[in-house]
A and B are shown apart, each in its own frame.
Chain A
Amino acid sequence: MGDWSFFLRDTGGDETYLHWMMTAWGWTLSVAALSLIVALVVGSIMGILRTTPSKTLVFVGNAWTELFRNIPLLVQIFLWYHVIPSIFLSLRAVPSFVLVVFALGFFTSARIAEQVKAGILSLPKGQRYAGLAMGLTLPQTYRYVLLPMAYRIIIPPLTSESMNIIKNTSVAFAVSIAELTMFAMQAQEETSRGIEIYLAVTALYFVSAFAVNRVAHFIEVRVQVPGMIGSKS
């Protein structure tokens, strides 16, 4: 089935195709991991803002979500890569890898904000009032009462979002990040062994997404609250 020996051939750059592909996989995973951190932090803040009593804060959170949800990821990546550095000249020196991390992170933050909001709103209102009635401040109520439950509830959608982020790193090919899709396109042109290369790359995407799924499942089981919907005990 196919000719796989070219993977051990030199690319002309002092490394084999296999080595190149593994480096590319590393880029894919790094972009995904760092974007996920950005997305979780920003998405949590925006999601929480959307559930506060302040109308201004709710508006900020809503505007953020709509803005980053209604522009295609590829266009957002172009905005970060081409537009922002030429408007803010001080950002010229920032490597494109960082720009892509922010693009993918902010894009995903809009979806995570939606889930965080849904998680908080799924809790009975009484929990918020109980916290406030006991004399906790609003931030304390969030920190000790609402968020610990809300985050546990939204682990399944957060899992699929983490798997999506790995898939979405493929869009970074458009600004020449040396990730898996970029490797697939370039190696295909150089070797004309498209099927073998695409199969290998697709398999690596599968493995990555599956690994994320297992890690998330492990976390879900570890943090589950006995008696809560979906828990086994």
Chain B
Amino acid sequence: MQLDFAFFNWALIQSFILKGLLFSVELTIIAMLGGVALGTVLALMRLSGKPWLVTPSAIYVNTLRSIPLVMVILWFFLLIPLLIGRPLGTDISSIITFTVFEAAYYSEIMRAGIQSVPKGQVGAGYAVGMTYAQCMKLIVLPQAFRNMLPVLLTQTIILFQDTSLVYAIGAYDLLKGFEIAGKNYNRPIEAYLIAAIVYFIICFSLSMLVRQLQTKIAIVR
């Protein structure tokens, strides 16, 4: 079969691809910020040593990490409308799902990062009269964030790849944009190929950047 990429022009990008790319990026950024925030809370709960905080956080993290993301997407798409009593668009549903889901993964990264800070530093903080919250905010978390930044960003690249799974509920993301463009111009094969190349370029460049950052942080430390 003859491949023909002539159909792929700026007008097509404008009318099909950009909208999808925008949603994929938006979903990635919101889920990252929300996931890191919620993940930090979960990690602090997990490390607090108080059973009534440790157990819920452990259950949350372990449950979400053992269910396939596609199933989580389907679960939320089914449950949220039942809970709030009205249908919710695929976009909002995806954003909620990814934030909740990614929090489980980010929290494990945060936990490892926080544990990478020597315990003596917390002790030193207490010794100069700081409270637990002050110790975390001023001593532990700034260092933990820095130690785990490369892993955190790598997880975000995985998150960007995973946004393609909103296909399950038919949300309009980058992949969907290519698929619709391919169908409209009757060039589905070429559209999928270009989609793969675009995803590769984005993810490969980002992972190169993360690698550079990693060496930079390593030198400073």
Contact = CB atoms under 8 A, between A and B. Distances in A.
Given A79-B196, A195-B78, A198-B78, A72 B162 contact: yes
A71 B74 contact: no
Interface in A117-172: 163, 167-171
B67 A76 contact: no
A89 B70 CA distance: 31
In order of increasing CB-CB distance, the 5 nearest A-B pairs are A170-B68, A70-B203, A72-B161, A167-B68, A72-B164
A170 B164 contact: no
Nearest to A185: B74
A86 B1 contact: yes
A64 interface: no
Interface of B: 1, 3, 66-71, 74-75, 78-79, 161-162, 164-165, 167-168, 175, 188-189, 192-193, 195-196, 199-200, 203-204, 207
Given A70-B207, A170-B71, A75 B189 contact: no
A149 to B, nearest CB: 25
Contacts of A198: 71, 74-75, 78
Given A194-B78, A198-B78, A205 B66 contact: yes
Interface string A49-77: 00000000000000000110111111110
Interface of A: 66-67, 69-76, 78-79, 82-83, 86-87, 89, 163, 167-171, 173-174, 181, 184-185, 188, 194-195, 198, 201-202, 205-206, 209
A2 to B, nearest CB: 13
Contacts of A205: 66-68, 71
A1 to B, nearest CB: 15
A36 B188 CA distance: 30
Contacts of A184: 71, 74
B196 A206 contact: no
Contacts of A67: 200
Contacts of B162: 72
A185 B69 CA distance: 14
B1 A75 contact: no
A78 B196 CA distance: 9
Contact of B189 (A83, A89, A174, A195): A83
- Chain B CB count within 10 A is highest, among A67, A70, A167, A174, for A70
Given A66-B204, A71-B203, A87-B1, A78 B192 contact: yes
A70 B195 CA distance: 12
B165 A171 contact: yes
B203 to A, nearest CB: 4
Contacts of A75: 164, 175, 192, 195-196, 199
